[in-house]
Every structure is written in C-alpha cells, then in structure tokens.
C-alpha cells in the first residue's frame, strides 16, 4: 500500500451539485496529481499541484478546480456536476520532478 489516502471512498450526487474530494499525500511528497478514470478506461490527467499552485492541466473544463495546502494535502472540486462526471477519481503524490507517482485508492463518484 502507498501512504496516499483519499476521502470519501464513495459518493453519490445529483446533476448540478458540487462535490469536494480530498487527498492526503504520502509523507515527504510535495506534488499531487489528480486523475479521472471512467468505467472501462484508463485514468486521464486532470491537473497537478506543487507549492500550492496548479502546475499543468489536462483537457478538463474550469468547473474542475483544486487546492493544495501547506501540508501538501489536496482537494479536487467539481461544480455543476454532469452525468459524465461519474467516475473513479484518483490522486497521486510524488516528489517534484519525481518519475514515479503513488496512487491512492480513489473516490468513486456517481452522478444521478
């Protein structure tokens, strides 16, 4: 197991609502990346945070936003939820510039 934790494990929301997902990085890691994994697909990069700033973003709209805190933990916020946002959301931590990312167990979001 990695030292990356995520909460909650499961979540059900309705279309139009907002959701916040949380991630605690592995001890010593200062970079957090978020990925979305739709059913039957590989993970897709949402964005990465380093030094509390967004550092790189994938092809996701602005209603996907994030935060990183001084202790390197992170939040992913999604506004105006759509049905297609139903997915497993994974966070991964690493050292800045590190080649390997360590993934948490994920949060499964269902939008009805």
Partner 1 sequence: SQQGEEDPQALSIQEGENATMNCSYKTSINNLQWYRQNSGRGLVHLILIRSNEREKHSGRLRVTLDTSKKSSSLLITASRAADTASYFCATAVLTGANNLFFGTGTRLTVIP
Site for partner 1 in 36-75 (CB under 8 A): 37, 39-45, 48, 50, 55-56, 58
Of 20-28, 61-69, 76-84, 85-93: span binding partner 1 (CB under 8 A): 85-93
Q: Closer to partner 1 by CB, 18 or 103: give it.
A: 103
Return the ∠ at Cα 78 (arms to 75 and 84), rounded to 5°.
130
Nearest to 19 by CA among 87, 102, 103, 70: 87
Answer for which of 26, 104, 109, 111 binds partner 1 (CB under 8 A) is 104
Least spacing, CB of residue 108 vs partner 1, in Å: 7
Nearest to 76 by CA among 17, 6, 10: 6
- 100 binds partner 1, rule: CB under 8 A: yes
Answer for which of 64, 106, 109, 111 binds partner 1 (CB under 8 A) is 106
Q: Contact 80/16 with Cβ under 8 angstroms?
A: yes
Whole-number Å distance between alpha carbons of 91 and 70: 17
């Amino acid at each position: 197991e990695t030292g990356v934790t995520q909460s909650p494990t499961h979540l059900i929301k309705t279309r139009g609502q907002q959701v916040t997902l949380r991630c605690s990085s592995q001890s010593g890691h200062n970079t957090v990346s978020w990925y979305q994994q739709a059913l039957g697909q590989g993970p897709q990069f949402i964005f990465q945070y380093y030094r509390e700033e967004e550092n790189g973003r994938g092809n996701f709209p602005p209603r996907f936003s994030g935060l990183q805190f001084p202790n390197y933990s992170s939040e992913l916020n999604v506004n105006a939820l759509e049905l297609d946002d139903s997915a497993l959301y994974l966070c991964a931590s690493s050292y800045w510039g590190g080649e390997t990312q360590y993934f948490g167990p994920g949060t499964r979001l269902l939008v009805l």
